[in-house]
Structure 1
Amino acid sequence: MVEVPVAFAVSDWTAYATIGSTVIAVLAFVISIWTGWIQRQHNKLSVMPLPEIQLKDMNGYICVKLINNGTGPLIIKKLEVLHGKNVVGRALIDLMPPGGSEWSFFVYIVDDRSIAPNGEIILLELEYDPNDSVEQDFATLTRQALCTLCIDLSYKGIYGDTFPVYKKDLTWFCRLLKTFT
């Protein structure tokens, strides 16, 4: 019977333990990289902007708002106003009828601005007295101007992901006009 030296048997176990712990460490490293990648993907999906252009036309009130209904900031790259397929402006106020000293609120060019989740930018707002015929006529002219337009919004999220262009047709404002040409 051949006796195996104790030192030789211990060094074998030490080698096996070293190899095993190295394999476990490499496996843990790979899993942590994979988990980080999955977490980053989750974060991107969790903070997505979701634009909406909201139209309001009530008795005495006309409004066009850009709202972020998403869970992350919306960064406006470019907002264009179109008539048909032609870009006719960058701000709604430029395309409104003259004599609108009654404008309650409006913004000019909104490029490179951001909107927080559940935040909004009022693009155009008109409050008027529906019993005043002059103000009522101006509201009708405003509806006529708005109903021929369309808004294209190019935007991105905080991770720089570019989304498809959001389009909103403003023909909804035609519904109260007696004649539309």
Structure 2
Amino acid sequence: MSNMDFANLMQLDTLFETLVAKPDVANAVAAIGSAVLAAAACLISLVSLYVSHRTAKHQETHDRMSVRPLVYIGVGDYENRIYVKIQNNGVGPLILKRITIDGASEPDKPLIHAMPKLPPMAAWTNFVEDISSRSVPPGGEVFLVDLEESSSVSRAYFTLARDSVRVTLGTLTIKVEYTDIYEQHLPVAVRKLSWFHRHSLAA
């Protein structure tokens, strides 16, 4: 045994004898030890609680991102069809809250209300009136207005209707307000419909 080990052993013996001779000191040391252990246990509990909270927040963020919708305002302008639609290109359900039609005389009304009156023997293929709180699944779409040649008596009637609708659409801007299933408001989707005027601009 080295001198250092012997010295440490002697110190332990002395401490033990002191504690035996003075019970009050022993009780005080025991109380201090218990308090230290209790404080350590409390600290460990607080750290565990913090870690659990952070983990839960991280999981919640991940869950929200994993079901986030993404609005795409699609347009179609063809010889036999013209339309404006809202498509959900995200990974979660899309909840439509409000659609504003800038440039229309009544911006808060559905797009169909901003459209010109169709000539006789021509009719809309599809349109929507009320979209409030309407749900669109991932990959799903809603046609705000849709005009196909098949809905008119003849191509001539359709062409008159299409050209009239094309002129009106080109003056408008669509704004779509929407949320995810957690009621979280996402950035407003905006698209100018000047694309419908490209023929007149080219001329």
TM-score by length of 2: 0.73
Letter in 1 for 2:109: R
Question: Match for 2:109 among 90, 112, 117?
Answer: 90
Instruction: State the distance in 2 between where 1:89 and 1:163 align.
Output: 19
Task: Tell me the CA shift for residue 104 of structure 1.
Answer: 1.1
Q: 1:1-181 to 2 correspondence within 5 Å?
A: 1=14, 2=17, 15=34, 19-83=39-103, 87-99=106-118, 101-128=122-149, 132-177=155-200
Any gaps of 5 or more consecutive residues in structure 1? none
Instruction: State the distance in 2 between where 1:105 and 1:92 align.
Output: 12
Q: Report how many aligned residue pairs link the two structures.
A: 178
RMSD of aligned C-alpha atoms? 3.1
Task: Tell me the CA shift for residue 37 of structure 1.
Answer: 1.6
SS of the equivalent of 2:125 reads: strand
Maintained 8 Å contact 1:74/1:158 = yes
Instruction: State the distance in 1 between where 2:68 and 2:76 align.
Output: 25
Maintained 8 Å contact 2:148/2:158 = no
Instruction: State the distance in 2 between where 1:132 and 1:29 align.
Output: 70
Maintained 8 Å contact 2:70/2:89 = yes
Task: Tell me the CA shift for residue 179 of structure 1.
Answer: 8.6
SS of the equivalent of 1:103 reads: coil
Letter in 2 for 1:151: I
Query: 1:59-83 CA deviation, whole Å, 9 max, x = no partner?
Result: 2111111011112222222111121
Instruction: State the distance in 1 between where 2:160 and 2:60 align.
Output: 54
Instruction: State the distance in 1 between where 2:171 and 2:129 align.
Output: 19
- Larger proportion of strand: 1
Maintained 8 Å contact 1:66/1:122 = yes
Identity %: 29
- Larger proportion of helix: 2
Query: 1:67-101 CA deviation, whole Å, 9 max, x = no partner?
Result: 111122222221111217x6445212112222364
